[in-house]
Copies of this chain bind each other. A is one copy, B any other.
Amino acid sequence: MPQQEPVDQWIKEIIKMSDEKMTEKQLKIVHAAVEVFAEKGYASSSTSEIAQKAGVAEGTIFRHYKTKKELLIAIVSPMMSKLLAPFVLNDFKEVLETDYPTLEDFLYAVAVNRMNFARKHLKIIKILLQEIPFQPMLQKEFKEHIGSRVFNRFTEILEHFKAKGEVVDLPTPALLRFSSTAMIGLFVTHFLVLRDSPWDEEQEIRHTIRLIMNGMAAK
């Protein structure tokens, strides 16, 4: 049985939900906006529908967010860092080495943790994915703040295992893309494509990780 707790722990320490300081109305606005954005897409959502769903006057939205786009960014931008936060943590590698007997166990713990996180924030993540191509601000944020750090972190780890002779000698970027897209593919197919199909989450994660590990194993 893999130990889930350590992973959860260091994540919770870092991620502050920052939902504090919001008035009750503001919270209602954000909730309504998430609902509507996720259903219709940002561009096809109207502030009036959001206001109505939030039980708030149209003007109230603009007291809190100068523009509709600012509302979108306020919702979606924190999600990016939260989603990738654990991979950026300084003690990521340390946790890996001290708390988990095998790499597979560690990956399983991380996967379960992120899966639960994604489940909780599914709608916001969907909005995020939808809007990244059209919101330069989000792209910039990803590139500058998060993307590269995650990339570096993973590269580091992969090279560590390559050095140890546990991972096949292919170019690290190829390995990285292979492993991450196979993992992300699992998330996407489950949460976005096959939303209603029943599944045994533990099994599916295990299988995917095994296939990835197998694929990358030094022969």
Could you tell me which A residues sit within 8 Å of B by CB distance?
40-41, 43-44, 126, 130, 133-134, 168, 170-171, 174-175, 177-178, 180-182, 184-186, 188-189, 192, 203-204, 207-208, 210-217, 219
Contact = CB atoms under 8 A, between A and B. Distances in A.
A204 B174 contact: yes
A121 to B, nearest CB: 17
Oligomeric state, in copies: 4
Contacts of A41: 41, 43, 133-134
Contact of A182 (B43, B182, B204, B219): B182
16 contacts: A41-B41, A44-B134, A126-B133, A130-B133, A170-B207, A174-B204, A174-B208, A177-B186, A177-B189, A178-B182, A180-B185, A182-B185, A182-B215, A184-B185, A212-B215, A215-B215
A119 B41 CA distance: 26
A178 B208 contact: yes
Contact of A178 (B130, B185, B188, B217): B185
A210 B40 contact: no
Contacts of A185: 177-178, 180-182, 184-185
Contacts of A216: 211, 214-215
A178 B170 CA distance: 19
By Cβ-Cβ distance, the 3 closest A-B pairs, closest first, are A181-B185, A215-B215, A43-B43
Given A43-B44, A178-B207, A214-B214, 7 more contacts: A41-B41, A130-B133, A174-B211, A177-B185, A181-B182, A211-B215, A212-B215
Contacts of A134: 40-41, 44
B181 A188 contact: yes
